[in-house]
Amino acid sequence: MKQWFTELDKKLKSEAGIGTVEIILILVVLIALVILFKDQILALATSIFSQVNKSVKNVY
């Protein structure tokens, strides 16, 4: 596990590829989208789980 963190630290500190700032900005945008569309996401998840429950009841 320590080796994994060491590799991750090297990648985050390297100058090539995606930088830490870019990763943080992407995370901020994703969190903002989730907050904005929370109600729609919850409605979709509820709909999907209700359909799964109906399908499971049909199988048993």
The pLDDT tens digits of the residues spanning 25-52 come to: 999 999 999 999 999 999 999 999 999 9
Domain extent for 38: 17-59
> pTM (2 decimals)?
0.52
DSSP result, 20-38: HHHHHHHHHHHHHHHHHTH
8 domain residue, yes or no: no
7 domain residue, yes or no: no
The pLDDT tens digits of the residues spanning 4-32 come to: 778 777 776 766 666 788 889 999 999 99
Count of structural domains, the chain: 1
26 domain residue, yes or no: yes
